[in-house]
Structure 1
Amino acid sequence: MSENVLFNPGQAISSTFDFNEAYVSAQIYQKKRNKPLLVVQEEDGKLYCVFDKAAAEQETTSQSKQYRIIKQLD
C-alpha cells in the first residue's frame, strides 16, 4: 500500500528521473543535515524528488502536488 503526501515542487531538495540518483542525493543531504527525508515519486511515475519530511506535515498550499512515498530516511 502506498502513502501519498503533498509538496510544493519548488521546495524539492533534489529531483531526477533515476531512483538511485535521488536516493544517493538524499543520503548525502541527510548525512550533512541529519534531518528525516522522503524520496517520493510523481503520480505519473516519472520524476523522483527528495523532500524534508517535516515539510510534508506543514504543506497545504494550493501549489502543492501529490507524490507517492518511495523511501523514508530517518
Structure 2
Amino acid sequence: MTLFLLTAYALSLMQPGIGDPNHFNNYLVLGYGLMWLVGMGYLLNLASRQRNIKQDIELMKQILQEDEEPKKK
C-alpha cells in the first residue's frame, strides 16, 4: 500500500501542471450546449414523426370509411 501511495505521489509530481484550470471551461460549456442542441433536435424529430403518424392514421380511417360506405348501400 505504501509503495502504491509513493508511486502515485511521484507520478503526480512528474505531470506537467495546467496553468489555469478554468481554461477548459469554454469547452465544457460548448459541450453542454451542443448536447442540448442534439437533444432538442431529436425531440423535435420525434414530435414531427408522431404528427405524421397521426395524420396517416386519420387518412387510413377516412379511406376505410369511404370503402365501407358503398358496401352498406
Give the shorter-chain TM-score range: under 0.3
TM-score by length of 2: 0.23
Larger strand percent = 1
TM-score by length of 1: 0.22
Higher relative contact order (CA 8 A, sep 6+): 1
